Chains A and B, each alone.
Chain A
Amino acid sequence: DAKTTQPNSMESNEEEPVHLPCNHSTISGTDYIHWYRQLPSQGPEYVIHGLTSNVNNRMASLAIAEDRKSSTLILHRATLRDAAVYYCILNNYGQNFVFGPGTRLSVLP
Chain B
Amino acid sequence: EPEVTQTPSHQVTQMGQEVILRCVPISNHLYFYWYRQILGQKVEFLVSFYNNEISEKSEIFDDQFSVERPDGSNFTLKIRSTKLEDSAMYFCASRERVNTEAFFGQGTRLTVV
- Name the prevailing secondary structure of the A interface residues: loop
Q: Which residue of B lies closest to A102 (CB)?
A: B42
A70-109: contact bitstring with B at CB < 8 Å (1 yes, 0 no)?
0000000000000000010001011111111100000000
The complex places the Cα of A42 from the Cα of B108 at a distance, in Å, of 10
Contact of A46 among B45, B58, B102 (CB under 8 A): B102
A98 touches B104 (CB 8 A): no
B43 interfacial contact with A, CB 8 Å: yes
The complex places the Cα of A95 from the Cα of B93 at a distance, in Å, of 12
B45 touches A96 (CB 8 A): yes
The complex places the Cα of A101 from the Cα of B43 at a distance, in Å, of 8
The complex places the Cα of A96 from the Cα of B93 at a distance, in Å, of 10
A5 interfacial contact with B, CB 8 Å: no
CB neighbours of B33 from chain A (8 A): 96-97
Measured CB to CB, the residues of B under 8 A from A are 31, 33, 35, 42-45, 48, 50, 55-56, 58, 89, 91, 93, 95, 97-99, 101-107
